[in-house]
Structure 1
Amino acid sequence: MFVVIPDVLTEAEVATLRTNAATEDFLDGRLTAAGRARNVKNNLQTDRRSERMSEAQDLITAALNRNSTFQTVAAPRRILPPRFNLYKEGMFYGDHVDNALMGDEGDKIRVDMSFTLFLSSPQDYDGGELVIKSGMGNSTYKLPAGQMVVYPTYYFHEVRPVTRGERLACVSWLQSMIREPARREIMLELAMISNMIQSRDARAAAAAQDMLDKVRKNLLRQWIDD
């Protein structure tokens, strides 16, 4: 389940984060890559534990806490402190799967979901698309500044080479209170059904009935024993 969440940040918050990023010290992204990922990672990133990142992390965390869609989609138990990722012309991150365990030594968490929060406008750079690869094919994302895509961490994904300009984003990972992706999807659909019913729109009510039928059938698949 890949979910795009619009308007996670206000225009003022995007501007604040861009200003913050302009004063940050960026390091070689390969410093945090493990195994074969080192061979395909070519970007710059901030140290998520640095004191200078604290203000940006607080701003992003507050935005995530107030966003009801994110809370429903992710049901976060713990979110790792976000970091800035910067791709300059020629930089990329080839196919990889994020680690199952992340965090500081002695305080690692199981990682269930990843997110990319876009800070550059699509017009500011060419290339740089986030591509998530699943059994349904490739899903490509190049979102407006302030928008986010959230996705299960176990999929192969890449950032295509930037051919013009610079691509700035915030990325992080989380452990969900709902471990199983199928159950997280059901919780999201139930929230959508509730919103459809509350809208009192006839077309929305019909769509809610269809989605409720889907939820019922998928719950039966989980609960019925052979």
Structure 2
Amino acid sequence: MLLILPNLLDNSELSQARALLATAPWADGRIGAGSQAVQAKNNEQLPPACEEARAIGALVLRALDRSPQFLAAALPRKVFPPRINRYGGGTNYYGKHVDGAIRFAEGGLRVRTDISCTVFLSDPDDYDGGELTVYESGSARQIKLPAGHAVLYSASHVHEVTPVTRGARLAAFFWIESMVRDDAQRRLLHEFDMALTSLRETAGESEATVTLVGTYHNLLRMWADA
């Protein structure tokens, strides 16, 4: 499943993030990368413990908490603390790779990477190139969204960030461990939830919608690991 979350961050939050990024202490993005990633990765990241990274990460986490679309699609159990990266100049790409299955964060947090998320902090007009390209079922989908928009996609897919040839591409990125491990099951539940919500809005509550709500929750109960 690949899903766009429009306007996850509002204008006020984007302004706060950009003010923090103006004085951010960038470091080599390959620090801490795995053996495959370190060969493909050529970007910069904020040190996770720095004040700017923590503040922007907190903005993103608050935005996720208020997003019904994120909660319905991801069914989150754990969220890895957001990281911040930059592509531009001589550090401008991340070649084809698959995200590691388990990520380790401060305090002993371990997150199974079911879903990857990128939150764009730069507008498309600010840079050339830098498309997030996700390879799925023999096709390639290129994603380059307005600042504040986010994209969710399965962490099991090969993906890359193409070279940035002008300007700088800034984004937050992180992973979600879902209560529902299987991507196909999550997709079915999300489609069920969206269709049921639309039905209730147009037809109101009825015996049929009550039954369908029960079916959704019974499927979730069957598949979820809370």
TM superposition score category, shorter chain reference: 0.7 to 0.9
Gaps of 5+ in 1: 202-211, 220-226
The answer on whether the counterparts of 1:117 and 1:148 sit within 8 Å (CA) in structure 2 is: yes
Tell me how far 1:32 sits from its aligned partner: 2.4
Counterpart CA distance in 2 for 1:18 and 1:186 is: 37
Contact 2:112 2:177 in 1 (8 A): yes
What's the TM-score once normalised by structure 2's chain length? Answer: 0.85
Q: Which residue of 2 aligns with 1:131?
A: 133
Partner of 2:9: 9
CA contact (8 A) 2:134 2:142 kept: yes
1:131–1:138 CA contact under 8 A, matched in 2: yes
CA contact (8 A) 1:132 1:156 kept: yes
Aligned to 2:104: 103
- Distance in 1 (CA, whole Å) between partners of 2:89 and 2:198 is 44
Output one character per residue of 1:81-122: Cα deviation in whole Å (capped at 9) or x when no partner: 101110013510000011101013743221111100001000
Q: Match of 2:69? A: 69
Structure 1 residues 41-50 or 171-180, which shifts more? 41-50
Amino acid at match of 1:96: H
Q: What amino acid does structure 2 have at the position aligned with 1:67?
A: S
Aligned AA for 1:183? Q
Aligned to 2:79: 79
Task: Quote the residue 1:38 is aligned against.
Answer: 38
1:4, CA displacement in angstroms?
0.6
**1:50 CA drift (Å):** 3.0
Q: Does 1:148 align with 2:145?
A: no
Task: Give percent identity, aligned residues only.
Answer: 40
Partner of 2:142, secondary structure, is strand
Q: 1:57 to 1:139 in 2, by over 3 A?
A: same
Cα separation, 2, equivalents of 1:173 and 1:94: 19
Aligned 1:163-174 pairs, distance under 5 A: 163-174=165-176
Number of equivalences: 207
CA displacement at 1:136 relative to structure 2: 4.0
Question: What is the CA distance between 1:157 and its match in structure 2?
Answer: 0.3
Query: Alpha-carbon deviation of 1:48?
Result: 2.1
Which has the higher mean CA deviation after the structures are superposed, 25-34 or 152-161? Answer: 25-34
Tell me which moved more, 138-147 or 98-107.
Answer: 98-107
SS at match of 2:30: helix
Query: Shift of the alpha carbon at 1:160?
Result: 0.2
Q: Distance in 2 between matches of 1:76 and 1:49?
A: 23
Deviations 1:34-92 (A, max 9, x none): 11221111100012233442222221111000000001111111111101110013510
Equivalence map 1:50-65=2 (5 Å): 50-65=50-65
Report SS of the residue matched to 2:180. Answer: coil
Aligned amino acid, residue 83 of structure 1: R
